[in-house]
Amino acid sequence: MKREMANPDNGINALLNVHKVLSEDAASTLFQNNEISRIKGYIPEVTNPYRDVKIVEQGEGAELEAMGYQFVGMVPTDPTIPSMGNKAMYVTKDNGSQRYVSGATSLTSNQRKGSSAVRNQNYRKGQGPTVADGSKAVYAAARRRAQGNHSAFDPAAVQDTFMIPVFGTDGRIMDFQYEMNATNRDTLLDRNNDFAHLLGQYAGQNFDKQHSPDQN
């Protein structure tokens, strides 16, 4: 690596420069140069379309198992929100997705990454907490953590799973999300980590997200 980086012309610098150009293009075309909405160092994620992961309440996986899903394990949740309940993760390597003719309609989604911490709480019709109650619990937990001693915080020492804030274009927190860790994305979703392929996906994504509404 040191030998390659010492050369004036090398593939690593070329890839980094391509990524920089794509990132700047996305900033202007998709985010109106709003730095708050962008992920630094972002690259797209390409996963196996036939892999599918489901999160259900503990003890409610019988239907998924009958459909061919396999139990992976319990899902860790934010320890500061006790109302989250116990969640179980299931995965299948063949989700039976129907084939479709590509090119007629763009299926690009603007949905943000992760799963909402509020939506993943236990809400039963006619009983238990409401969505409003869950939202209050999530934001209360975030406020409690915000009052901690930040100067003593060591990210490397964190062992638990915590929710991630989602910021709006005005800098205010809109929601809190959970995201799958890198190991599970590689093993459960069969993620493609070929950097050249991902840069090609990045370029196509910048164009597709901008023009999908007109095409459809």
Q: Using one digit for the tens of pLDDT, what is the confidence trace for 44-65?
A: 999 998 899 998 888 888 999 9
> So where are the chain's domains?
1-46+192-216
In degrees rounded to 5, what are phi and psi of residue 192?
A: -90, 120
pLDDT tens by residue, 118-149: 555 444 444 445 556 667 777 777 777 777 77
Give the sign of the dihedral formed by CA 11, CA 14, CA 19, CA 22.
Answer: negative
The percent of residues above 90 in pLDDT, for the chain, comes to 19
Is the pTM for the entire model greater than 0.85? no
Any bridge partners for residue 137, and if so which? none
Write phi, then psi, for 55 (nearest 5 degrees).
-115, 120
Centroid of chain to Cα 55: 14
What mean pLDDT do residues 178-194 have?
Answer: 91
Residue 64 pairs with which residues in a beta bridge? Answer: none
Cβ neighbors of 5 (< 8 A, separation 6 or more) are: 12, 13
Question: Where does residue 185 rank: exposed (0-12), middle (13-18), buried (19+ CB within 10 A)?
Answer: middle
Lowest mean pLDDT across 37-41, 78-82, 149-153: 78-82
